[in-house]
Structure 1
Amino acid sequence: MSENYVYWISTALLSLLYLASAVTYIVKKQWVRETIVGFGYPGYLVPILTAVKFLAVAAILSRVSVALSDLAYAGVFYHLLLSGLAHIGVRKPGGALPAAVGLALLAASFVTQNAAREIPSPYVQAAVR
């Protein structure tokens, strides 16, 4: 039963983190573009990342397809990892803190998802072993 709570709390917090980030990408578009360009990435990634953040949250929460949900988990993992490393790479480790928190929430959500969802993910058993 506690795994169920861990799943829903970590998933809700991860979703809020991602939705807040996507809204920031919309509201402060120019600042986000400058920041991303400062990391060495092209500015055209801003609208793509905004859409992908909303879609990842939708895929994980709705779980229309287990495969799609697992793909969203993988995408979020790589995004958070690259985001954290980009901040560290430009010597702004404080900016990597949300990514580190997001990675912890992502791990908790992914590992406990089978306890809270009807259709289990085949990848969770492999990750826990």
Structure 2
Amino acid sequence: MTGTYAYWIGTALLSLLYLASAATYIARTAWVRQALAGLGYPGYLVPILTGAKVLAVAAILSRASVALSDLAYAGMFYHLLLSASAHLGVRKPADALPAALGLVLLVVSFATQNIARGIPSPYAP
């Protein structure tokens, strides 16, 4: 029972983090473009990342396909890892905290998914 709670709480918080980020990308596009430029990334990534974030959350929550859900977890892992690295690379460690929190939530969600979901992932412990 504890594993099920851990999965749903971790997954819900991870989903909220990603959906809040996507909403920020939509509501404050100019600010996000400027922030990405400060990290060395082009502004055209904003709509791509917005769509990817929403689709990743949909894939994990719906779990229409275990393979697609695992791919979404992998994409989120690399996105969060690169985000934290980018902030650390420009010497802004405080800005890397949301990505670090996201990585913790991602690990909790991924590691406990087979306990809470009917169809197990072959890659999760």
1:121 is aligned with what amino acid?
A: S
Mapped pair 1:36 → 2:36: yes
Aligned residues: 125
- The percentage of counterpart residues that share the same residue type is 73
Match of 2:79 in 1: 79
String of CA shifts for 1:41-83, please: whole Å, max 9, x gaps.
1110000000000000000000000000000000000000000
Runs of 4+ more than 3 Å apart: none
Match of 2:101 in 1: 101
Mapped pair 1:55 → 2:55: yes
String of CA shifts for 1:81-114, please: whole Å, max 9, x gaps.
0000111111110000000000000000000000
Q: TM-score, normalised by structure 1?
A: 0.96
Aligned mates of 1:43, 1:29 — CA distance in 2: 9
What secondary structure is seen at the aligned counterpart in 1 of 2:123? helix
Aligned mates of 2:50, 2:20 — CA distance in 1: 10
Match of 1:10 in 2: 10
Q: Which sections of structure 2, spanning at least 5 residues, go unmatched? A: none
Aligned mates of 1:115, 1:56 — CA distance in 2: 20
Match of 1:124 in 2: 124
RMSD of Structure 2 on Structure 1 (CA): 0.5
